[in-house]
Amino acid sequence: MKILIIEDDKILLQHIKQGLTQAGYSVDVSADGKEGLFMAASESYDLLIVDRMLPHIDGLTIIRTLRASHTETAVLILSALDEVDQRVEGLSAGGDDYLTKPFAFKELLARVQALLRRAQQPLESVPELRAQNVRLDLIKQKVWVGDTAVSMQPREFRLLEYLMRHQGEVVSRTMLLENVWEYHFDPQTNIIDVHISRLRQKLDTNREKSLITTMRGVGYVLETH
Amino acid sequence: MYWKRINAFVRTSSFRFALMTMGIIWLVTTLVLVAMYGLLRQSVWQNIDSRMNQYASVVTNAISAQPDLVASEILEQFQDMPSFHISMNTDTDSSRMNDSYSLMAEHHSGLSRPPDHLLHAQQMMRNMGNQQVMTRDIPLPDGSSVQLALNVDYLDDLNHDLFKTLMRGILFTLILAIVGSIILTRRSLKRTNQINEACTVIMAGNLDHRLPVPTPNNSATRLDDHDQMAANINAMLDRIQALMNNVQQVSDNIAHDLKSPLARLRTHLEKIQYDQPSDAIQDALNEADRMMILFKSLLGIARLESMTLTHTKQVDMSKLLADLTELYEPVFEDAGITFVNAIEPGAIRGDADLLFQAMTNLLDNAVKFTPTGGNIRLVSQQMANGYHIVLSDSGPGIPDKDIDHVMERFYRVDSARSTQGFGLGLSLVKAIIGHHQGTISLNNRNGLSVALFFPI
């Protein structure tokens, strides 16, 4: 998996590079818009991480240029600008996801994994999701823990579905709100935690360790084993 | 509605000014007409009087030339005088007393009434065979007298016609004055309204809008005072917009310049936490995040207040409120709060994410202050003028001294000081609602009642 990071903040760039390399990705970096665009256009990457404010050519222009030349590489936009309008602007320019600075590295990693997974396997392809002894039937919209059917409300089902699609990965509260409830903003209350604890109550019968682990300050992971 | 418009029209300063100007013109015209009438009357009667004098002196001269002439001979001699009638004076002294000349004159008015100074003991108005005449007594040496009479009956008709014409003239100029005022006002009001409408559009947040100013395509086209005012307002708006863009630029730069070092700080902390995990570092990380949230909220509020909605969509409010209810239901259950809602279908133009965020802030507050066993009610209604939402809880409400201030930035009610937060939640809500041209009002009604209104 090859990732290109175009970011002019050298310390942040090094930090992200180090983190992603440790996570097993092959990482190229550029601190300049012009150079970054050249690299993105000439080599084949699985994911681009692009800052909005860059020397010479800004991030959105890079994305628009790439999209105009039919480069379909997934793009994660990084920005210190976090207004809703600017997020919409970034996504409509061709970005696939938008993360505002500062961010926890784990949040970045979670989004990188989600984007790469989306690029690899489209969502609709599987009829059933499995994690440990939990089975989620996407066609019948039913959930089993072992042999026991568990009743779920539609939103709980979607929450579990999202967690299971990203099992083993960290998902942030903002990602959950965005993908399960389809509203984008940073929740500043424990509202998502309440829903997670409901889900745990239904799934964690006869289990030593909870299926869903809380990652302090970041979000949750649905454990594969 | 119609009356209201007329009333508003009449109240405009342009109309009053035009009416005043027209009123003065009308008054002057009327005065001139009345003065003309008076002068005409003077001149007509002077003329009659001088003719009287002329004939009287002819008769008097004849008498003084032949002092022994008797009345009948004089009558015969002057029988054929043109337009005059001469007769024996049959009045007795007593009848003269009763039939006073002044009384006689009072039967007439306006033009047909002789000026007082032309009436005296020898000269008076009389009614002779249904004809109005002016008479002059000429004494004879033998003590009797003859009477000269001039028919002035035509003056009645003349007066009648003249008076009618005069009144029509005055009425006509009065109508002209009012119609003129209205036309003038409408012209000036059209421009004023254009300016007002443009100002409303600009106030609604469309800062790129400008007042219409006719482009002077040749040097002969002069800009009137309204055009000049519009041009000046436009220049002022350009300046304000330039300043605002500056502020925008500066705040964007601050956001970038302060966020990046904070991001680096966070990065360093995260690195340390990765190498040597400790609770102290985690606390520092949390503090950095808190700072970031504060910063984002402040910038967010400032931007919302200064910007207009650009990416607006039709937002289904009933869906949004239903989603909100669903999201919060477990929270209510955990907190032991009864939740009741009555949501009516309705849609407004806006940003669903922002509106949802505003509603979550309000609901978070409601949950925070409602005691276990209490209740929260969410009611929405689509009305003719817009979409109304009322969220009320059974909490303690907000102290009266604070209720007008809680939406100010960093304002915190004393009782809430110990709880987490910056005092920006309601400011953000207000900014979001204001961003949608909506209104928010807080009231204490057995708890706090928050009323939101989004006009159509």
User: pLDDT tens digits, residue range B384-441?
Assistant: 889 999 999 998 888 888 888 888 777 777 766 666 666 778 888 998 998 888 999 9
pLDDT greater than 80 at residue B163: yes
pLDDT greater than 70 at residue B216: no
Tokens linked to A175 = 């990602």
pLDDT > 90: percent of chain B: 17
Which residues in chain A are contacts of B285 at CB distance < 8 A? 104, 217
Position A82 scores a pLDDT of: 62
Residue-range domain boundaries for chain B: 2-166, 225-306, 313-455
pLDDT greater than 50 at residue B76: yes
Give how far B411 is from chain A: nearest CA, Å. Answer: 18
pLDDT greater than 90 at residue A5: yes
Which of A12, A22, A173, A183 to probe the B interface (max B CBs under 10 A)? Answer: A183
pLDDT in tens, B329-363: 999 999 999 999 999 999 998 888 889 999 999 99
Every domain of chain A with CATH number 3.40.50.2300 lies at 2-120
How sure is the predictor about A160, in pLDDT bands with cuts at 50, 70 and 90? very high
Which residues in chain B are contacts of A85 at CB distance < 8 A? 307, 310-311
What value does the mean pLDDT take over residues A103-127?
Answer: 79
Architecture per CATH, domain A2-120, reads as 3-Layer(aba) Sandwich (3.40)
Tokens 């012209």 identify what position?
B187
* Spatial separation of the C-alpha atoms in residues B227 and B225, rounded to whole Å: 5
Average pLDDT of every residue of chain A: 86
Give how far B382 is from chain A: nearest CA, Å. Answer: 23
Which residues in chain A are contacts of B265 at CB distance < 8 A? 102
Half-sphere exposure at residue B347, Cβ-oriented, CA atoms within 13 angstroms: 6
| Pairwise CB contact (< 8 Å): B270 & A105 | yes
Q: Which residue of B has its CA nearest to A80?
A: B256
Gyration radius of chain A's alpha carbons: 19
Every domain of chain A with CATH number 1.10.10.10 lies at 124-222
Give how far B331 is from chain A: nearest CA, Å. Answer: 7
Tokens 């003590």 identify what position?
B143
SS3 content of chain B, % helix, strand, coil (to 5): 60, 15, 25
Whether the predicted interface score ipTM is above 0.90: no
Half-sphere exposure at residue A184, Cβ-oriented, CA atoms within 13 angstroms: 13
pLDDT in tens, B281-321: 888 888 888 887 777 777 777 777 776 666 678 899 999 99
- The shortest CB-CB distance from B334 to any of A9, A103, A194 is to A194
Position B97 scores a pLDDT of: 44
pLDDT greater than 90 at residue B379: yes
| Pairwise CB contact (< 8 Å): B263 & A184 | no
How sure is the predictor about B94, in pLDDT bands with cuts at 50, 70 and 90? very low
- The shortest CB-CB distance from A155 to any of B286, B326, B364 is to B326
With an 8 Å Cβ cutoff, is A201 touching chain B? no
| Pairwise CB contact (< 8 Å): A84 & B354 | yes
Going across the sheet that includes B145-151, the strands are B84-88, B145-151, B131-139, B123-128
Size of interface A-B (CB pairs under 8 A): 91
Which of A7, A107, A189 to probe the B interface (max B CBs under 10 A)? Answer: A189
Average pLDDT of every residue of chain B: 82
Which fold is adopted by the domain A124-222? Arc Repressor Mutant, subunit A (1.10.10)
pLDDT greater than 70 at residue A218: yes
| Pairwise CB contact (< 8 Å): A183 & B260 | no
With an 8 Å Cβ cutoff, is A31 touching chain B? no
What value does the mean pLDDT take over residues B165-181?
Answer: 86
| Pairwise CB contact (< 8 Å): B256 & A195 | no
Helix ranges (H only) for B66-211 are: 71-77, 93-98, 101-105, 154-203
Which fold is adopted by the domain B225-306? Helix Hairpins (1.10.287)
How sure is the predictor about B95, in pLDDT bands with cuts at 50, 70 and 90? very low
How sure is the predictor about B244, in pLDDT bands with cuts at 50, 70 and 90? confident
With an 8 Å Cβ cutoff, is A202 touching chain B? no
**DSSP string covering B90-113:** ---HHHHHHS-HHHHHTT--GGGS
Which of B351, B357, B363, B422 to probe the A interface (max A CBs under 10 A)? Answer: B357
pLDDT greater than 70 at residue B2: yes
Q: Which residue of B has its CA nearest to A15?
A: B267
Residue A99 near residue A72, CB atoms below 8 Å: no
Tokens linked to B350 = 């806006």
Which residues in chain B are contacts of A104 at CB distance < 8 A? 266, 270, 285, 289
How sure is the predictor about A75, in pLDDT bands with cuts at 50, 70 and 90? very high
**DSSP string covering B272-315:** HHHHS--HHHHHHHHHHHHHHHHHHHHHHHHHHHH----S-EEE
| Pairwise CB contact (< 8 Å): B311 & A12 | no
Bridge-based pairing of strands B375-383 and B338-342 is parallel
- CATH code assigned to B313-455: 3.30.565.10
Position A170 scores a pLDDT of: 84
- CATH code assigned to B2-166: 3.30.450
How sure is the predictor about A175, in pLDDT bands with cuts at 50, 70 and 90? confident
| Pairwise CB contact (< 8 Å): B293 & A185 | no
pLDDT greater than 70 at residue B93: no
- The shortest CB-CB distance from B300 to any of A83, A195, A216 is to A83
pLDDT > 70: percent of chain A: 96
Position A62 scores a pLDDT of: 92
Position B310 scores a pLDDT of: 67
| Pairwise CB contact (< 8 Å): B360 & A53 | no
